[in-house]
């Protein structure tokens, strides 16, 4: 066997070379330069995407603290877009809207069916009556349950996405884009139904648009999640006062509007009773209203 050695090769040059050295037969050497490895872009792995999303969120938080709300909005949007959640906010809202439309259609169909169905005769007895009774009980049960609400199945990294959306909702409120803030909060709540801050964020957006009933409901839900939170308790108390005042003004306006219509004979009695039943939950208020109407009617008849 031939014995190999380094005699005849330029070892000094090979030792100084930056790369892979290939010793050639005859004494020469060839150096293959090492390839420069540049930093790899963000990989598609879940952990790396989450890390990048958290970085965008952190930048957004700094911009928000500095009151750079447009910049903060952009940073939170980037965090939302890169967050590795299997479903997007847009798809969640689309699914919810489709579900709600189907439920409304079911409710309309039930109402139409009840309207068309003849009332069973009380004196007749038999199997037909039993079937009618079971149908009535079923319909009453459905009415008691009301329209079903859309619930989203738990999503991978859904709670992280909810945080990014809720932060963006905060910037949207500062930018006075309240309807968009409500949508972001909607999705955050669907992703994490126990996310207290999302209810408070949406409550704030509702209040800004003078939807105090919805704002109060969200604040109450937040208090249910954190019953020992004094700040939330104060918020509920404040919103309750605002809502009570709104209802009082609504009752006064309804007294005047329906009173004039009733006195002048323009109101449909059945429609009037239905509307009043929704507005006047307090029976005493209801009878006071009709006492006023009767008074005006008598004045009209006497004149």
Instruction: Place 15 in a pLDDT band, splitting at 50, 70 and 90.
Output: low
For the chain, give the number of residues: 303
Tokens of 253: 């306006």
Q: Which homologous superfamily is 66-114+141-227 in?
A: Tetratricopeptide repeat domain (1.25.40.10)
* Average pLDDT of span 277-295: 59
Burial class (CB in 10 A: 0-12, 13-18, 19+), 84: middle
pLDDT in tens, 121-163: 555 445 555 555 555 555 555 554 567 899 999 999 999 999 9
* Average pLDDT of span 191-198: 97
pLDDT in tens, 40-69: 444 456 789 999 999 999 999 999 999 999
Is the pTM higher than 0.75? The answer reads no
pLDDT in tens, 197-220: 999 999 999 999 999 999 999 999
Tokens of 255: 């007294």
> Could you tell me if 191 and 159 are in contact, meaning their C-beta atoms sit under 8 angstroms apart?
yes
Q: What is the pLDDT of residue 155?
A: 95
pLDDT in tens, 257-281: 666 565 555 555 555 555 555 555 5
Contacts of 219 (CB under 8 A, 6+ apart): 199, 200, 203, 232, 235, 236, 239
What is the number of alpha carbons within 13 Å of residue 287 lying toward its C-beta? 3
Helix residue ranges, H only, the chain? 11-16, 46-65, 69-82, 89-116, 127-145, 158-174, 178-191, 196-208, 212-225, 230-263, 269-279, 283-302
Instruction: Place 99 in a pLDDT band, splitting at 50, 70 and 90.
Output: very high
């Amino acid at each position: 066997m031939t014995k190999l050695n380094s005699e005849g090769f330029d070892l000094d040059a090979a030792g100084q070379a930056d790369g892979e050295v290939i010793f050639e037969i005859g004494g020469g050497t060839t150096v293959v330069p090492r390839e420069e490895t540049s930093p790899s872009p963000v990989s598609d792995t879940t952990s790396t995407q989450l890390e990048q999303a958290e970085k965008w969120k952190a930048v957004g938080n700094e911009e928000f603290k500095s009151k750079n709300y447009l910049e903060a909005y952009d940073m939170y949007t980037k965090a939302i877009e890169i967050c590795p959640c299997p479903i997007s906010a847009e798809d969640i809202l689309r699914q919810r809207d489709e579900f709600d439309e189907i439920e409304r259609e079911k409710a309309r169909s039930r109402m139409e069916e009840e309207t068309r169905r003849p009332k069973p005769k009380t004196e007749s007895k038999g199997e037909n009556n039993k079937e009618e009774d079971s149908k009535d009980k079923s319909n009453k049960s459905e009415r008691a349950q009301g329209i079903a609400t859309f619930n989203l199945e738990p999503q991978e990294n859904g709670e992280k996405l909810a945080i990014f959306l809720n932060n963006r909702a905060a910037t949207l409120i500062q930018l006075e884009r309240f309807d968009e803030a409500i949508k972001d909060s909607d999705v955050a709540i669907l992703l994490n139904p126990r996310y207290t801050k999302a209810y408070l964020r949406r409550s704030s957006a509702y209040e800004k648009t003078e939807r105090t009933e919805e704002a109060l409901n969200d604040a109450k839900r937040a208090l249910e999640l954190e019953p020992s939170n004094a700040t939330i308790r104060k918020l509920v108390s404040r919103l309750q006062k605002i809502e009570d005042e709104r209802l009082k003004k609504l009752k006064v306006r309804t007294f005047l509007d329906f009173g004039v219509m009733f006195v002048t004979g323009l109101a449909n009695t059945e429609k009037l009773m239905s509307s009043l039943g929704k507005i006047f939950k307090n029976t005493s208020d209801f009878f006071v209203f009709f006492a006023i109407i009767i008074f005006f009617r008598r004045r009209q008849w006497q004149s």
